[in-house]
Each structure stands twice: as C-alpha cells, then as structure tokens.
Copies of this chain bind each other. A is one copy, B any other.
C-alpha cells in the first residue's frame, strides 16, 4: 500500500517539475512563482509544500531533471554509431552540435544549468552531484577522442561554451556561432595534437 502512495506522490512531483519548466519557458526562469506553478498543475500555492520544502527545492529538482534530459539527449544511442577513436573530428563535431542544440532548445534551461541566473539560488550538493556525474561521462568520451589532459578539456569546454554563450546572447535561435562548430573542432584538435606529438 505504501508503495502505491509513494509512487503517486513521485508522479505528482514529476508533474510539478514538468509544469515548472513549461512556465519557465513562458515567463522566464526567475519569473516562476509558486502561485502560477500551482495553478499550472491545478492546485493552490500552499499545496506545493506537500511535495517540496521550498522554492529552492523546486529549482533543485528542475536542475536535476535538466541534467537527466541532457544525458538522455547526448547519449542517445543512434547518435553514437561511430567510434570516437576512429574519427575523432566527426565524433566531436556531432557531440558539440548535439550539446549546442540542447542549449539552444531552451534558454531558461541553459541559464539554470550553466549560468548563475537565479539570484540567491545555487544547486544543493545533491543536485550538484547530478551535474558532476554528467560531466564525468563527458570527460570519458572526450578522452576516447583524444582530449585527455585537464588543460585540453578546459580549452574544449571554453570553446564550446563560448559558442553557446555568444549564440544565445547575440542571436538566440540562430546559427551564426553554431555554424562554426566544425571549424572550432578542427582548430582544437590541431592544437592538441601539435602539443602532444612532437
């Protein structure tokens, strides 16, 4: 019996987080209010406290859900038919494009995951662990493509994060910076190989 209750409760929590993301898409990440959120799921604001301790806990759950979505989008099996060691360039371009598309698909989500856009909130240690896990998986994949050293990884993340930041800040929804992905990958791989080889 208790399992059924817990399962139902968990489903309601998921509904609330899904509704929170719908609202954030419409009203902006910081435009999210508990009244609006409750209305979106057919409740009144105080009822949300039966599912989450605070608004910060809701942002935490949104954050964790976003990283689960990222992992699902990035590691979709059909995208990774190729072997990273065989053609690192093609493999890295595909990965970067997938990551950039994920960022562009939702600006509020990008803001919550990768910038400090919510005043007074930062992920709790538990929520932060979800992002660390995701990053670890990415590092392993980069290593298979030849990007292994800390400094090389930092250079890679700076470049891809820069493409996303410029694209979103200056031409949201466009392709001006995203279109540079192929060239950026070639550039980074050349730099890393030149430094490693001789």
Residues of A within 8 A of B (CB): 28-31, 114-117, 119-120, 151, 154-155, 157-163, 165-166, 169, 176-177, 180, 183-184, 186-188, 190-191
Contact = CB atoms under 8 A, between A and B. Distances in A.
Tell me the dominant secondary structure on chain A's binding face: helix
Given A160-B162, A162-B160, A187-B188, A154 B169 contact: no
Across the A-B interface, give the 10 residue pairs with the lowest CB-CB distance, nearest first: A162-B162, A158-B162, A187-B191, A161-B162, A30-B119, A158-B163, A158-B166, A165-B165, A161-B165, A28-B119
Nearest to A163: B158
Given A151-B183, A154-B166, A187-B191, 19 more contacts: A28-B120, A29-B119, A115-B115, A115-B165, A116-B169, A151-B180, A154-B180, A158-B162, A158-B163, A158-B165, A158-B184, A159-B162, A161-B165, A162-B162, A183-B191, A187-B187, A187-B190, A190-B190, A190-B191
B186 A191 contact: yes
Given A30-B30, A119-B30, A180 B165 contact: no
A160 B177 CA distance: 13
B114 A117 contact: no
A5 to B, nearest CB: 38
